[in-house]
Every structure is written in C-alpha cells, then in structure tokens.
Structure 1
Amino acid sequence: RAIPPTRAMGRPTGGASASKKPKAKSKPKQRGGVDFKKYKHKVGRKLPPPKNATNTEIKSKMIVLPEQTMASERAGMAVNKRGLTLRELLQQTVHYNPKVRRAAMNGIKDLVTKHPAELKLHKVAMIEKLQERICDSDKVVRDSLYSLLQSLVFPSLKEDNAMSTRSTLSLLMANVLNGMTHLSMDIQLMAFRFLELVVLNFPSSFPRYAEQAFNNFVAVLSNDRIHLQDKSKLNSILAGLAHCLSLVARVTENDDASNRLVQNRPMGELWKPTLDEDNPGS
C-alpha cells in the first residue's frame, strides 16, 4: 500500500496552524514584602531554634564549706534522733498533716527521755503548747499526748510548788473541760480519760472543777450514742466518775471531822491563838 507523501516527509497533517500551541497565562507578580518566609528543610537536619527562643541552660557551681551552718548553730543543743530541737518539735505539733504531728509527739518524748533537763526547764511551755492536742482530730496524737503526760510531764510537775502547778493545771483543765463537750464522741471519751489522769496525779485540784465535771458526766452518760461505742470506753468513763466521787466523799469526811473537832473544843481554846497573836507580850 502506498504511503501518502505528506506522512513520508514527516510533516504535520494540520499545517502551520496546528504547530502553534496556546501560550500559558503568566502568574501575576506579588507586590510588596513577603509575610511569612517558608523554609524548606531537608530530611534528617536539625531545625534551627526560633529567634525568640529562651535559653534554659543552667550553670551551677559547687561551694565547699568546712562545716554546715545548721550543724554549727545546734552544737551543744539538745536534739532528738532526727536532729530537731524542742522548739522545732513543738511547732510541728500544730501542723495540718497528722503524720507530722505524730512524728512531733514521738520526737518530744524521745528528746525529753534523753535530755531530762529540757523537761525541767520547759515543762510549762510544753503544757501550754500541747494542751491544744487534747481535742486533736487524730486518735494517735491524743494517745501520744496521754502517754507523754502520764509518764514524763506530770511526774516532773509534781516537784514544783503548789502555786506554779495550779496555774499550769488551770490551762490544761480548760481544754479538758472543752473536750468533754466536743461534738466528736471519740474526743469526748478521751477528754474523760485526761480528766481522770489529772485527778489521779493532782487530787487537790479537782474540787474547783467538780461541778462542771459532774455536769459533763451526766450529759455524756445520758447520750444514746455512748451505748453504741465500745464497752471498754464506757467502763473508762464510769471508772473516772467513781474516782471523782470518792474524792468528793473524802473531802466531805475531812470537812465533817474538822467541824466536829471545832465543836468539841472549848471556846477558850478557840480564841486562845487569836489572843496570843494580839498580845504577844502577855
């Protein structure tokens, strides 16, 4: 078959008009500056830090001291096994965390056991600070305070004169009576144990608080919630009440005996000391 001459020569069949292609529209050039410059990062290359990056590098230097400042300040001071002084431990007894208060109570007992002189010098300050723990919300703290007063503080307080002991006990009894009317039943029951402890060690101080104490006994025993508690706690209250009643009976017997003695003495003997004091030369 014969091939057309135009194809044989390699010319386009469309003529001159077919060889021309339409021109692409040129993009309009951007006017003004570029808002954001786009970086083309290569794979694996670390990105450069931004211009407003903050340098977070920290440089530290070691300072070598011949001795620590705290250790030099506490040299010769009485501390417990944790290295805390009595003042620091008393401050920790008012901490909001009950674990810290427990550790502080144990630390005080450890310190005064190792250093009895601290107890003799600061027992009044200890009672003034620790009396607030009678109404503490944590049972372990209250039990620790009871043990501390029973074994260490009260035996040392008996060695003081009556006037200083009376003023110290007045602060303690204010918190004991307050605890006996607390909303929490556990704190109420523990307050009666504190009252019994005070009465056992200082029986002469009870008559001043007898009326208020007996009213609190009646109030707690008439409460229905006391019967739902542990029987051992109820027995503890009854034992404290029996001891307080025995003190009142003993005081009443002593008053009756003194009144009978006065009535049996002649009138001249009753007035004789007064006459002798008024007339020392006769």
Structure 2
Amino acid sequence: MSQHFRWIAIETTTHCNSQCTVCPHDTLFRHPFTTMSGELFEKCLLEIAELHTVSEHIRFGGMGDPSCDNQLLERLRFMQKETPNLQPHVASNMASWKKRDTEAVIQEQLLPAMRFSLLGLTPEGSMRAYQRSEQGERASRAIDYFLQYNAQSPHPVRTELYTLLMPDDQGEVAQIKARFWDRVDAFEVWRPHSWSNLLPHLRANQVVRRRCSKLIHPEPVICVNGDVCPCSMDVNRELAFGNLAEHSLQEIYQGSAWHRLVELNAQGLIETLPTCHGCTFLNADGSGVLIEHK
C-alpha cells in the first residue's frame, strides 16, 4: 500500500558540533552518537522513491547536524542520481560547515534549498545560545561565504535562515536580521518550542488541546538506526513503531504499532503516553509561534 507524506526526516547522524541551550541533545538524549550506514540510507530512499509519494522534501535532520555527517555529499549525490523525484532539504547551524561543502552543493546542484540556523551572533548572544562565545560569528562567516558563492552561480540555491526569539533576547534577533534579512530568500523568527515536554520552560502549555497532526498526516522521522518515529519530538525513540533495517516502510505502516498510535490520537488519548503528555505542539492555538517572516 502506497503511503503519502508531506515530508520525511532522515536522521543521518546523531553527532552535533553545537551545545544549544534550547536543545536536549547534550542533556536528555539517551542514545549513542553515531552515523547512519550508507546501505540503510540507500534502502530507505529507494523504497520511498519507488513506492511512496512525498509532496515536499526529504529532510536531513534529527538529533545531529548534517555538517557532522562525513557522508553528506555522497548521500546527496546518490539522491541526485538514483532518486531524482525526491527533493533533499538540509538545515545546519553552519558552525562546522566547510567551504568545500558550499562549493560542491552549489556547483553540482545537489540541493534545491539550504536552510541556515542562527541563534546568536554577538559573543554574548552566542554564549547564551550555544555556550560558546565564538560560535555565532564562525557560523555567520560560513553563511556569508555560502551567500557570496551562491550569488555568483548561474543556478543559485534557494537560501533560508531561521532564528529564535529567546526569552533573554537582548537585541540579538535584531542584529541577525540586520546582517542577513535582505540577503536570503526566506527569513523566519520563531518562538522556541519545548521538545514535547522535555524543556517545558521554553513554551507554555494551553488548557485546550488538539489531535496530533503527525498521526493524521504522517511526517515520520527515520532514525539513525532505522527506527521509524511519528515525529521529531520523540528524540529517544520511545514511540518507534517499526524499524527499516528489519521491515519495509510499507509493512511498518500496516503494522499494529502504528494503528495503535492512530487510534489513541483519534480518541483524544495520545497524551496518556509519557512522551506526548504536555507536548506543546498539541496546544489548540498555534498563533504567535511564527513571529516574523518573509
């Protein structure tokens, strides 16, 4: 049975070069830091391309940063050659992004779009966001190089940048906007989310709740070990309903574990699961989360 997805995230690595204060990677993530094998990656992509439909893209993401995946360019070249109907999407904090990665991505047209994450720019803002005073400027220089190189290309990549309005912003978003707003194709300012219920101080829960959209219109995460999870908030894979190293995606979506999650959601009982209890993405009113964009 063919499945339709808005997008699919593939966690090609759980290594990350950053220590973001709004991310559970270094404090609450309970799995080894590793990288997805090329064999598993190719198996996943070939099945998706042959049997299923994806309306938007294949998102490289999860608990790691794609810049820490030493197979990133090879994976993008594989997709370009073997699954050209699937659109890859890469987002990076850019602190470890290399010039040769920029040049390969743009010269070889490996990506239709590149998304930058930048949470701090000044030494003080960078320290608040990353616990490293120099990371924001280092990432900004990598973004500068990407934008300059891209501007010279006959086939430029679409560029997107997002940042977060921290509770202690102190003008950081304004400085990031001043440097990049006019130079990228899309710019977004978001309020931080709470990773379901892992960092509850970052976003308040509302009394009125709603059904989980990820269990109505699937947007799964394929984890580095092949586990398939319903959403990216399930960082410790507690809701995994199958494994692509053992079964096909088609078999997994026909399985009882997936249908149990769908049924709980339909009955309004999804928050009986500890991973979902208090998830701020179940707030009924999602307004005010995207603060500004172009």
TM (norm. structure 2) is 0.26
Query: Which structure has the highest strand share of the two?
Result: 2
Mark the structure with the bigger radius of gyration: 1
Query: Which structure has the highest helix share of the two?
Result: 1
Work out which structure has the larger RCO, using CA pairs closer than 8 Å and 6 or more positions apart in sequence. 2
TM (norm. structure 1) is 0.26
